[in-house]
Amino acid sequence: MIALLSFVLLAATPDSTVDAPTAAAAQQTLLHYVSPFDATADASLWSFAWADLNGDGLKDAVAFSRDEDWCGSSGCTLLVLEAIPKEDQEELGPFHVAAEVAVVAGPVQLLASRHHGWADLSVVDEEGRTVRLAFDGESYPFSPAAGTASPSEDGTVLFSATN
């Protein structure tokens, strides 16, 4: 039986699955990452889902844009923010952007399968095909076009629609 991981969607406000400082730290990391490309970056235009993607016991964040500056006609940008252990946060900060995936359409799902210790993600590409995004040891693919056809494996829905 495929073990499904549970996620909770977080829009602009903290949820009971993460404390307010953790949610704020993830939002700050996101803003720091996107602000060189978007002078009017607004964390409230990103939705967050939380889960331990890499098996280290810390809740990582998956952020999906609803900001028109980060979306196109075929989908939006998805960011994966890796949680950093407390002992390394002074040097590295509380989160690190582990992946940026462009032109993603919903639904976005977390799969039970893993590559290089990270959970696979299932997304819809600009052609409407469901593809698997596997972590390659450094990141997830930048585009769903670099993913592989996804079997009909059920996953936990992170985000159900593009906007």
Domain map of the chain by residue range? 9-159
Strand residue runs (E) in the chain: 9-10, 46-51, 60-65, 71-72, 75-83, 95-115, 118-124, 130-133, 148-149, 156-159
- The span from the CA of 46 to the CA of 65, in Å, is 4
pLDDT of residue 47: 94
pLDDT of residue 65: 94
pLDDT of residue 14: 32
Say what the pTM is: 0.85
Name the DSSP class of 152.
Answer: S
Task: Give the DSSP letter string of 107-133.
Answer: EEEEEEEEETTEEEEEEE-TTS-EEEE
3-state SS class at 58: coil
pLDDT of residue 79: 97
Mean pLDDT by runs of 10 across the 163 residues of the chain is: 28 56 96 93 94 95 93 92 97 96 90 95 87 95 87 74 51
pLDDT of residue 117: 97
